[in-house]
Chain A
């Protein structure tokens, strides 16, 4: 089962190595990881999607909490959070195919970020399902390259992590 874990940590050198090292040595598999500064520049927020059963997820949380750099750990239940991932998808496209691809982008809420004679680069953000759908729709044109930011997540409503 996939777990979305949000972590607030001290923003200094070596912290990410500690977090990712902890996952590795306790055999917790990371599917996705995204890091960025929060509104307080001394604090970073890490969002990790990890795979494992309930026991594993609990252990992840407890072990993360033990790290001295960790300020807060919260496993976000799917129904209580919003999650998004940003991707670049480079697709082969002859000039004749461009308008079809543009239509797909419009319907799916994606943007053309770059274009050349034989390819377009699409910028798209969304949930995992939306992005899977986008890949499905573009597969036929020949996907040349995909770059993903990793998932970020936030609690719905007025609740905040602090």
Chain B
């Protein structure tokens, strides 16, 4: 017999978990005590939400469920934003929370919160563990649920007395669930129909979303596009499936997308949606699009098909398997003259021309991405910095672009970057944020220094919540309300106080000189680029 808390750690071992992100508290102490005796590396974050975001970064690089831990009550509620963020982007997490003792549940005792209740809208599934002997089964199921089908966060809430109960431990080999059976293979008849539809299309277009990464189908998608010469646009979550400079790639679609991508969406006659849920920022008027275009929708989640856009040909399944089958099945397609017109639109460089003295963040990001290695991970926060990064940070083969496309959670980038770097320490990880979002996560500089990992941080500081300022300017008569970030510290000096190398850049020349330092350094480095408060998001 062993303590259930030890069993929980053994479960993580069995799942191959080497790193966990968390923050302790009284109700999760037995589990932390069991971690003490294990060789799983625990990363102490400085706020529970960031444990979730760091696990999200880790999961997105490994494409396997990652683990975050918080205590009961406020620890668990702090974690909620990260759970919701992971849910919106279908990121596989196993979230472990402590809970007050079973006999006290419902008594409104110290640090008690009904976290399975509160998290219900944002989890794929959750468990409030009342029977300690069920823990091995629950962990097995949780990892299976988080990492299969449409991935997502699973919450396991364990009362402190349950953690202290003695149980017989054996980890189940297989999952026995009578209700959960995700569809993986696509229906061959539908695949045939889709191939025929694409081959008879005049202006076919692929729209690839985050599901392609979750399926691990980047190579399969590129192979399919290259065989068929069908151009590709991506959602924000799909950025980086094709390298930015791939001849068939037209950029991100939607409200903040590129002219070439949006023209393609407007003009295409058949659109193949792959692992994309047609979110409102990507497609503003799905009804209008569906009227003029034949919509083929492939997704692993049947509920996404027909939810936001009506579909002519639905196909449920895992896109890796489906794309492999489609590439085999589909005949060669000739070069499409339509594509040549679209490609012309990509050539407009005016938006990232030098401003001379001032820093153009768009040009800066282009230059920065060119200098960093091919397999760099760029993590963008939320706001103008996010859109600048989406459209201008060039992703090359093997590179990744991580951001919260669904939830738009400010303060995601630095903890996510820390998680990504811990998942693959040899890769360069660069975090891009604004002076607004940085202040929602700057406590994590300490986590980074404590772990001794070299994440690079770029802050575009404009003393504004820039995107909201822009909305107020354009739609609210420039009545700028609550968007001025006065009172901020010198972020570089702050970072130096953590022991980091950090500098300010006020001019283009300074920015490029220090960019080189950032690129060359093998230590954590923070660069504050001061940009014009009136710098637009797009052009």
Provided the pairs A58-B306, A59-B307 are in contact, do residues A69 and B179 lie with their beta carbons within 8 angstroms? yes
Residues of the B chain whose Cβ atoms lie less than 8 Å from the Cβ of A55: 306
Q: How far is the CA of A63 from the CA of B150 in the complex (A)?
A: 13
- For chain B, residues 340 to 392, give those with C-beta under 8 angstroms from any C-beta of chain A: none
Residues on B with beta carbons closer than 8 Å to the beta carbon of A75: none
Asked whether any CB of chain B lies closer than 8 Å to the CB of A41, the reply is no
Is A85's CB within 8 Å of the partner chain B? no
Binds A, one of B114-122, B164-172, B441-449: B114-122
Say if the beta carbon of A155 comes within 8 Å of chain B: no
Which residues of chain B come closer than 8 Å to A21, judged between CB atoms? 120-121
Contacts of A25 in B (CB 8 A): 121
Q: How far is the CA of A71 from the CA of B150 in the complex (A)?
A: 18
Contacts of B116 in A (CB 8 A): 14
A107 within 8 A of B: no
Contact present for B302 and A71 (CB under 8 Å): no
* B145 on interface, CB distance cutoff 8 Å: yes
**B180 in the interface (beta carbon within 8 A):** yes
A18 interface contact, C-beta 8 A: yes
Within 8 A of A (CB), among B295-336: 301-303, 306-307
Chain A residue at minimum C-beta to C-beta distance from B128? A14
User: Does A62 touch B at the CB level, under 8 Å?
Assistant: yes
Interface string of A55-71 (1 = CB under 8 A from B): 10011001101101111
Most buried by A among B117, B121, B302, B303: B303
Knowing A14-B128, A70-B179, A71-B179, say if A65 contacts B120 (CB, 8 Å): no
- B179–A63 touching, CB < 8 Å: no
**Does chain A have a CB within 8 A of B178?**
yes
Asked if B120 and A68 sit within 8 Å, CB to CB, the answer is no
Q: Complex Cα distance A87/B48, Å? A: 50
Q: From residue 99 to 121 of chain B, which have CB atoms closer than 8 A to chain A?
A: 116-117, 120-121
Is A51 part of the binding interface, using a Cβ–Cβ cutoff of 8 Å? no
Is residue A123 contacting chain B, with contact meaning CB distance below 8 A? no
- Rounded to whole Å, the gap between the CB of B125 and the closest CB of chain A is 4
Partner of A66, one of B117, B120, B303: B303
Digit string of B175-205 for contact with A (CB within 8 Å is 1, else 0)? 0011110000000000000000000000000
A68–B307 CB distance below 8 A: no
B121 partner residues in chain A, CB cutoff 8 A: 21, 25
A71: nearest residue on chain B (CB-CB)? B179
The residue of chain B having its C-beta at the shortest distance from the C-beta of A72 within the complex is B179
A residues 42-99 near B (Cβ < 8 Å) are 55, 58-59, 62-63, 65-66, 68-71
* Nearest CB in chain A to that of B126: its residue: A14
| Cβ contact within 8 Å between B117 and A17 | yes
Cβ-closest chain B residue relative to A62: B303
Partner of B180 from A59, A63, A68 at Cβ < 8 Å: A68
Q: Is there an interface contact between B128 and A66, defined as CB atoms closer than 8 Å?
A: no
Contact call B125/A62, Cβ cutoff below 8 A: no
Known: A14-B116, A17-B117. A68 touches B124 (CB 8 A): yes
A69's nearest neighbour on chain B, judged by CB, is B179
Which A residues lie within 8 Å of B306 (CB)? 55, 58-59
Per the bound structure, the CA–CA distance linking A107 and B131 in Å amounts to 54
B179 touches A17 (CB 8 A): no
Find residues 122-138 in chain B having any chain A CB closer than 8 Å to their own CB: 124-125, 128
Q: Assuming A17-B120, A25-B121, is B178 touching A71 (CB within 8 A)?
A: yes
> Distance (Å) between the CB of A132 and the closest chain B CB?
35
18 contacts between A and B (CB under 8 A): A10-B179, A13-B128, A14-B128, A18-B120, A21-B120, A21-B121, A59-B306, A59-B307, A63-B303, A65-B302, A66-B150, A66-B301, A66-B303, A68-B125, A68-B145, A68-B177, A69-B179, A71-B179
Q: Residues of A with Cβ closer than 8 Å to B?
A: 10, 13-14, 17-18, 21, 25, 55, 58-59, 62-63, 65-66, 68-71
Pick the 6 closest A-B CB pairs, nearest first. A62-B303, A68-B125, A71-B179, A25-B121, A68-B180, A21-B120
